[in-house]
């Protein structure tokens, strides 16, 4: 069987890159940038007043002048005034252009004003104090954002500052989540003793939407090969990615792999040396969508989704890879099987501000109730081995 790292490589090699679309900047939050963004102007584009107060020529203060005639007011957004004399000053507002002839700002808390005269109470006035110098953040033409960056609020502000009303980003993948099984009953519907609630699909859809994926559909098919074939054939023609839950193990009614093969979906791998989620199936169709067939046990479903599917979707959108998040175990954890083990954890911070992963083992891969209150899971190397408190390993958040 493949290791998780080998599975990562195969997924990366076979997942197609999603198309590019142009979006208004106001609609691009959470998208992955597919073009570089360069500075339209110097930033700041002028010597910018950084505090409310008075602007002056600092040489006047060094010459002993402490009382300055207030010549006028410089507001943000107005063309700059020009200082008339060294014994004058100009009242300025934060964000305004620094008036010509001025090279320092004394904040309002350090002056007293009376009858149009400002008396400086500060012990020091130095050139360029409280002035955000032109071009000190970036120069015109400088690279501000590179393709592959996911756009969060700061990046949106940067793109807007570069004068971009629209921006080229990866299109959102059209994803369908398909659960299979005769035993599954929708929440709210009458249920018999031999049936279980359909919950995996709701968890998968919730996770995808929490990560910013909006084009997510949902379907349920019974354990019937003809019905499965019909529904999957439809979804293969209408979606970019299929995420299936259940029907991929070795039982008589685990029909998904065979049906996918009949529909022309080529298997890339089936089974990974991991626990939970060993039966994970991944395949691609010629010129069509990718298919992730996740094990049906709920813990396995969520683990495989967070470990493989969500990172793959972002990679398909062109997002640059990020270093894995690391964390230390708060208690020892034992791995008995020669398989990579995914252990649910709750994160806590100690009095020193250090984050710790508190193991929250489940009662098997069907025990999804134990996941309540957890933040994700850690990835432990194959056993048999006991990993002590303080062992640093990879963290995957839900």
Q: Do 118 and 54 touch, CB atoms closer than 8 A?
A: yes
Distance, CA of 227 to chain centre = 37
Q: Which of 2-11, 61-70, 193-202, 253-262 is predicted least confidently?
A: 253-262
Domains belonging to the chain, first-starting first, are 4-18+197-316 (3.40.980.10), 21-43+137-170 (3.90.105.10), 48-132 (2.170.190.11), 325-397 (2.40.340.10)
Report d(CA 272, CA 2) in Å as an integer.
Answer: 5
Distance, CA of 175 to chain centre = 18
Phi, psi for residue 295 in degrees, rounded to 5:
-60, 150
Report d(CA 265, CA 242) in Å as an integer.
Answer: 11
What does the pLDDT average to over 220-228? 91
Report d(CA 310, CA 305) in Å as an integer.
Answer: 6
What does the pLDDT average to over 258-273? 93
Q: Which of 123-127, 284-288, 311-315 is predicted least confidently?
A: 284-288
Q: Is 245 helix (H, G, I), strand (E, B) or coil?
A: strand
The single-letter DSSP state of residue 338 is S
Report pTM.
Answer: 0.84
Q: For CA atoms 8, 377, 219, 205, give the dihedral sign.
A: negative
């Amino acid at each position: 069987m493949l290791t998780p790292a080998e599975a990562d490589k195969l997924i990366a090699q076979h997942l197609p890159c999603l198309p590019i679309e142009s979006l208004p900047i106001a609609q691009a939050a959470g998208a992955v940038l597919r073009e570089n963004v360069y500075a339209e102007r110097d930033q700041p584009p002028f010597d910018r007043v950084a505090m409310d107060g008075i602007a002056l020529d600092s040489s006047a203060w060094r010459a002993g002048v402490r009382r300055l005639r207030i010549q006028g007011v410089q507001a943000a957004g107005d063309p700059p005034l020009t200082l008339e004399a060294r014994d004058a000053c100009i009242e300025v507002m934060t964000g305004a252009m620094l008036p010509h002839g001025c090279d320092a700002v004394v904040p309002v808390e350090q002056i007293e004003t009376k009858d149009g005269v400002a008396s400086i109470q500060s012990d020091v006035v130095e050139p360029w104090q409280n002035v955000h110098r032109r071009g000190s953040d970036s120069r015109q033409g400088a690279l501000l954002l590179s393709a592959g960056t996911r756009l969060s609020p700061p990046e949106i502000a940067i793109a807007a500052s570069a004068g971009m009303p629209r921006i080229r980003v990866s299109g959102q993948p059209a994803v369908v989540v398909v659960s299979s099984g005769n035993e599954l009953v929708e929440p709210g519907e009458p249920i018999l003793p031999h049936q279980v609630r359909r919950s995996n699909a709701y968890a998968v859809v919730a996770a995808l939407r929490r990560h910013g994926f909006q084009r997510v559909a949902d379907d349920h098919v019974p354990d019937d090969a003809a019905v499965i074939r019909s529904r999957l054939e439809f979804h293969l023609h209408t979606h970019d990615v299929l995420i299936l839950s259940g029907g991929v193990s070795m039982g008589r009614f685990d029909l998904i792999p065979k049906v996918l093969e009949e529909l022309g979906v080529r298997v890339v791998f089936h089974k990974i040396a991991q626990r939970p989620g060993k039966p994970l199936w991944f395949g691609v169709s010629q010129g069509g969508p990718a298919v992730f067939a996740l094990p049906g046990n709920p813990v396995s479903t969520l683990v495989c989704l967070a470990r493989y599917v969500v990172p793959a979707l972002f990679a398909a959108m062109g997002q640059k890879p990020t270093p894995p998040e690391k964390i230390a175990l708060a208690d020892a954890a034992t791995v008995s099987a020669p398989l990579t083990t995914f252990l649910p954890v709750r994160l806590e911070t100690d009095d020193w501000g250090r984050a710790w992963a508190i193991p929250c083992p489940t009662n098997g891969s069907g025990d999804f109730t134990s996941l309540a209150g957890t933040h994700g899971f850690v990835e432990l190397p194959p056993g048999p081995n006991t990993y002590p408190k303080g062992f640093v390993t990879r963290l995957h958040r839900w």
